[in-house]
Amino acid sequence: MRRALWIFAIVIVVVFLGMQFHQPNFGLEPVNPHATLEAQLHPDAQIHNALRRSCYDCHSAEVKVPWYGHVWPASVLLQNDIRKGRAYLDFSNWSNLSTEMGQIRLISACREMRGDEMPLWYYRPMHPGASPKDEDVEAFCSWVQTMRLRSGVAEVR
């Protein structure tokens, strides 16, 4: 019985180590500097810095992959979160969105930040500085409102 447990443990360790050779593809293509949110909408420095600190790791091609992002199974989970985050809102490819859709995404981001839904709850413990400060959220939401009024897009409820 003891021998069977040792063999089972060795098999588990070998499988775990074998999974480490599968490195995820985070799909981080080079960024076209003219297609980014900053190039298109020119947010002020406070908003720009808050977005970089709180949002860019999942919503841009400028991801800083942490050490655990290279260890299975966390690497697979991280890759999935980045893929989903960028599919919904990608600050690196802002020019791909119409004016209306860009405004809808910004309004939605404002609501999610005000509702403390972003960043995701399980992201926060490993990234303690990622949650935006209240004043950054309010500055972002004010900027979004200004952009909405400037573009003439009706508010999405």
Question: Phi, psi (5° rounding) for residue 156?
Answer: -90, 130
Q: Answer yes or no: is 126 within a domain.
A: yes
Q: Quote the domain boundaries for residue 85.
A: 2-151
Q: What is the pLDDT of residues 82-116, one digit of tens each?
A: 889 888 999 998 988 888 899 999 999 999 999 98
In a domain? residue 156: no
Model-level pTM? 0.74
Q: How many domains is the chain built from?
A: 1
Task: Dump pLDDT digits (tens) for 38-85.
Answer: 888 889 999 999 999 888 888 988 888 778 778 778 788 888 888 898
92 in a structural domain = yes
Identify whether 110 is part of a domain.
yes
Domain contains 51: yes
Q: Is 155 exposed, middle or buried (0-12, 13-18, 19+ CB in 10 A)?
A: exposed
Does residue 157 fall inside a structural domain?
A: no
From 76, 104, 79, select the one nearest 89 (Cα to Cα).
Answer: 104
Kindly tell me if the per-residue pLDDT of 154 is higher than 60. no
